[in-house]
């Protein structure tokens, strides 16, 4: 009788441990559509005034990018995210002016294909966005130069792509690869920027998130993450040859979330390529910068 009781207790304990381990693995491996979608949204950040490179002296650059999720229920295969993104640069000049912010409101649709319980997911997405600087002055000044202070800049674009995710229980990490094509129809672009602003771009992004060793899914904020981003401009611009390296934009971002900070972490980023700040797009920049970032993703 005692032997049977002992065996029963051992089986119950084994079952509880097994279910707990399965739950932990599932929390790591089975990403839902919301978590996958948030990896495709820009995190909010603010930089320190210690940029290294040829970018103009800044007090800070800030990206304000909240995500408003629209879905029927948590396990929906289809959802959308509305983002009123704004990028602001404060120049390190007299009176610290903020000139021509980038306004990039957008709505993105996501669709999850395949088995929701799989350790690997494939998500298709499509985005419609607007990019402008909120100015209405002439694009060129009296000297025929681009009017960086008040010149009008505006374009609208679509982006279509796929996001593939996978996880490693051994490394306690999540890996995400995204590839997309960005299209700016000519009739959606300001006349003055046609031929100099790329309207056809190929994006590729690889991200890796190292998770803490905890059984509490609600606290699975990445300890560290790494993101590699590349963009190749495909269309005919600036009389560049097909394989001109000026067509390449590349970024490398390393993020670290120390235990003593609750909602933000530290990041360092290297960027090479054309300036992404609205009417400044004709500038080629190489910069290393540091700052604070909100890591909105939870696993």
Query: Each residue of 235-288: pLDDT tens digit?
Result: 999 999 999 999 999 999 999 988 787 778 999 999 999 999 999 999 999 999
Query: Each residue of 142-195: pLDDT tens digit?
Result: 999 999 999 999 999 999 999 999 887 777 888 999 999 999 999 999 999 999
How far is the C-alpha of 168 from the C-alpha of 119, rounded, in Å? 9
- Statement: residue 40 has pLDDT above 70: yes
Contacts of 213 (CB under 8 A, 6+ apart): 172
Angle (CA) 129-131-136 rounded to 5° is 140
Query: Each residue of 92-131: pLDDT tens digit?
Result: 999 999 989 999 999 999 999 987 777 788 999 999 999 9
pTM (predicted TM-score): 0.85
Give me the chain's average pLDDT, please: 86
pLDDT at 228: 97
Q: Which residue has the higher pLDDT, 69 or 172?
A: 69
Angle (CA) 254-296-171 rounded to 5° is 55
């Amino acid at each position: 009788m005692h032997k049977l009781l002992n065996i029963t207790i051992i089986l119950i304990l084994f079952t509880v441990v097994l279910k707990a381990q399965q739950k932990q693995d599932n929390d790591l491996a089975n990403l839902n559509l919301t978590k996958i979608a948030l990896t495709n949204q820009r995190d909010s950040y603010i930089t320190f005034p210690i940029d290294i490179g040829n970018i103009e002296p800044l007090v800070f650059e800030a990206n304000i990018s909240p995500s408003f999720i629209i879905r029927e229920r948590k396990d929906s295969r289809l959802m959308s995210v509305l983002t009123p993104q704004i990028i602001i640069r404060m120049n390190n000049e007299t009176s610290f002016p903020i000139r021509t912010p980038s306004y990039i409101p957008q709505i993105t649709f996501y669709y999850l294909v395949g088995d929701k319980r799989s350790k690997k997911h494939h998500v298709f997405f499509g985005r419609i966005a607007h990019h402008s600087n909120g100015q209405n002055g002439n694009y060129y000044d009296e000297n025929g130069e681009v009017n960086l202070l008040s010149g009008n800049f505006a374009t609208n674009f679509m982006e279509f792509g796929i996001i593939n995710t996978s996880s490693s229980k051994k490394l306690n990490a999540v890996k995400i690869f995204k590839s997309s094509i960005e299209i700016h129809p000519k009739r959606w672009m300001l006349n003055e920027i046609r031929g100099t602003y790329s309207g056809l771009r190929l994006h590729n992004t690889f991200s890796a998130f190292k998770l803490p060793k905890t059984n509490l899914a609600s606290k699975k904020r990445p300890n560290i993450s790494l993101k590699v981003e590349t963009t190749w401009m495909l269309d005919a611009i600036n009389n560049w040859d097909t394989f001109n390296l000026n067509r390449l934009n590349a970024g490398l971002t390393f993020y670290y979330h120390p235990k003593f900070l609750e909602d933000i972490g530290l990041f360092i980023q290297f960027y090479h390529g054309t300036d992404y700040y609205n009417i400044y797009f004709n500038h080629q920049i190489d910069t290393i910068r540091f700052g604070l970032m909100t890591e909105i993703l939870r696993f």
